[in-house]
Amino acid sequence: MKQADLGLDLSAKRRRKREYLDEMERVVPWARLTTLVEPHCGAKGKASGVGRPPFALTTRGTELVRGSLAGWQSCFSSKTDADLTDFASSQRWDTTDSKWRLIMAHVLIIGASKGIGLETVRNALEAGHQVRALARSATSISLTHPQLEKVRGNALVREDVEAALQGVDVVIQTLGVGFTELFGPVHLFSDATRVLVAAMAARGVKRLICVTGFGAGDSRDSISALQRLPFHAVFGRAYADKSIQERLIKESTLDWTLVRPGVLTGGGRTGRYKALDQPSQWRNGIIARADVADFCVKQIGNLASVRKAYVLVS
């Protein structure tokens, strides 16, 4: 009697590719996905003059999944797009395994109209994520993209925040205040975070990436003696409120990551920066807003960064 007669293949070596495909199949059933796509692709790989039929499961790889999904979007009718959106939202990565990474996520960015928030919108779209940009001046966002939704709302109004959280996987909070506001009472960061934490709990959204700053929370102790006096004179009120913001997040049940950039600069993304997660390493320095955004987007599916605080400097 042969192995094949018993349904066995004991001689086959289990390779890493096979293990990967089996894991992917458990999370994203390929047959179910191709069932949605195939009716819109012709026998010779054409659908309305464009596109190609789905690849077989045996040829699938990480970039193939990304490339195929992106390429097929040009073939979709609105109904097919809605079907795939429903399919994607029903899938969740296994958070018990630190090896998992989200390929694509539905991301809510709060404070998205300028600064780090706007850069984060740009970076998240480039990474292939679906982005909902929440800001009081969301309509002023100049970016356009089929995966970008601009939502006008107030981060201090719970109804606005809860509505924006519908169908979201990850929240990135990037609030800021103007320079003149630094010299008066500052409550924006803590008040908005109270609203957000409660709204996320109500909606069942767990993942939060929050941008605060070097000098907030326990990083305050790492400010050099030379910098301490001018720092507190100018930024003291804002950072006292950011410290409350961090405490509220740490006391929550959310899967949070705190991002504490140093002195912010303009310019494009360089990718040349340090993410310091050990208090002994924390120090001030400069960093481009675009690099802060780059780091935030990279943490969307990075389970190793959950419940960690990072200081970012170049």
Residue bearing the bigger pLDDT, 251 or 52: 251
Residue 7 has pLDDT above 60, yes or no: no
Residue 200 has pLDDT above 70, yes or no: yes
Q: What is the distance between the alpha carbons of residues 38 and 72, in angstroms, rounded to a whole number? A: 10
Q: Is 265 helix (H, G, I), strand (E, B) or coil?
A: strand
Residue 190 has pLDDT above 70, yes or no: yes
Q: Is 50 helix (H, G, I), strand (E, B) or coil?
A: strand
Q: Which amino acid is at 77?
A: S
Residue 227 has pLDDT above 80, yes or no: yes
User: b vs e for 201-223, b when ≥16 Cβ sit within 10 Å of the residue's Cβ?
Assistant: eebebbbbbbbbbbbbbebbebb
Residue 87 has pLDDT above 50, yes or no: no
Q: What is the distance between the alpha carbons of residues 217 and 102, in angstroms, rounded to a whole number? A: 29
Q: What is the distance between the alpha carbons of residues 129 and 266, in angstroms, rounded to a whole number? A: 24
When computed from its CA atoms, the radius of gyration of the chain, rounded to whole angstroms, is: 23
What φ, ψ does residue 172 adopt, rounded to 5°? -120, 115
Q: Report pLDDT digits (tens) over 250-296.
A: 999 999 999 999 999 999 999 999 999 999 999 999 999 999 999 99
Residue bearing the bigger pLDDT, 240 or 51: 240
| Residue 224: closest CA among 262, 259, 186 | 262
Q: What is the distance between the alpha carbons of residues 62 and 55, in angstroms, rounded to a whole number? A: 13
pLDDT bracket for residue 63 (50, 70, 90): very low
Residue bearing the bigger pLDDT, 129 or 79: 129
Q: Report pLDDT digits (tens) over 15-32.
A: 665 666 666 666 566 666
From the DSSP assignment, how many helices (H) and strands (E) are in the chain? 9, 10
Q: Which amino acid is at 230?
A: P
Residues 294/298/299/301 CA torsion (nearest 10 deg):
150
**Mean pLDDT, residues 1-7 taken together:** 53
User: b vs e for 17-28, b when ≥16 Cβ sit within 10 Å of the residue's Cβ?
Assistant: eeeebeebeeeb
Per the DSSP assignment, residues forming a β-bridge with 149 are: 132
- What is the structure's pLDDT at 267? 92
Ranges 53-62, 100-109, 217-226, most confident: 217-226
Per the DSSP assignment, residues forming a β-bridge with 118 are: none
Residue 83 has pLDDT above 80, yes or no: no
Q: What predicted TM-score, i.e. pTM, was given to this entire model?
A: 0.69
- What is the structure's pLDDT at 104? 84
As given in the structure block, the two tokens for residue 241 are 């409120």
Mean pLDDT of the chain: 81
Residue bearing the bigger pLDDT, 166 or 11: 166
- DSSP classification of residue 96: T
